[in-house]
Amino acid sequence: MAKKSTPPGRIHGKKIPAEQLDLPITFDAAGKLVTLREIMAPGHGSVLTFASLTPKKRAELTAKRIEAQPKFEVAMVGGGIVDKERAIEEVKAQTDIGQVLTEIEERVINNLLEQVADK
């Protein structure tokens, strides 16, 4: 019996949120931003791991992910309410708050990439 293919956005029966599919998730070897949807496409080339990115590239990726979201707001102990505009500024300046936001995105990205790898 032929194996059923997994619909796009679904991995092992777990649905990846649609908004995550089109957010940048890493860079390719040429430095172009790559989305999760692109990584999931058959025959996609190699991409850089988050761990291999420089702090500047990590901040750039995080800022691009925040910019691409229609709404962004997070409450942080010691940082108050951080809206989209402030989050982008903090990330680009690599402040303590920006670094925390980058670490959060790193965890999200790694989780998504692990789900895709387990496919």
pLDDT tens profile 29-41: 899 999 999 999 8
Q: Residue 81 and residue 83: Cα distance in Å, rounded?
A: 6
On whether residue 8 sits in a domain, the answer given is: no
Number of domains the chain contains: 1
The pLDDT, as a whole number, for residue 4 is 44
The pLDDT, as a whole number, for residue 66 is 97
Instruction: State the chain's mean pLDDT as an integer.
Output: 87
Spatial contact of 38 and 51, defined as CB atoms under 8 Å apart: no
On whether residue 89 sits in a domain, the answer given is: yes
**Which of 13, 4, 91 lies closest to 56, judged by CA?**
91
Mean pLDDT, to the nearest integer, of 95-116? 94
The pLDDT, as a whole number, for residue 32 is 94
On whether residue 5 sits in a domain, the answer given is: no
On whether residue 6 sits in a domain, the answer given is: no
Q: Is 113 helix (H, G, I), strand (E, B) or coil?
A: helix
pTM of the model: 0.83
Q: Which amino acid is at 22?
A: D
On whether residue 40 sits in a domain, the answer given is: yes
On whether residue 68 sits in a domain, the answer given is: yes
Q: Is 78 helix (H, G, I), strand (E, B) or coil?
A: coil
**Domain with 112 in it:** 13-117
On whether residue 99 sits in a domain, the answer given is: yes
On whether residue 4 sits in a domain, the answer given is: no
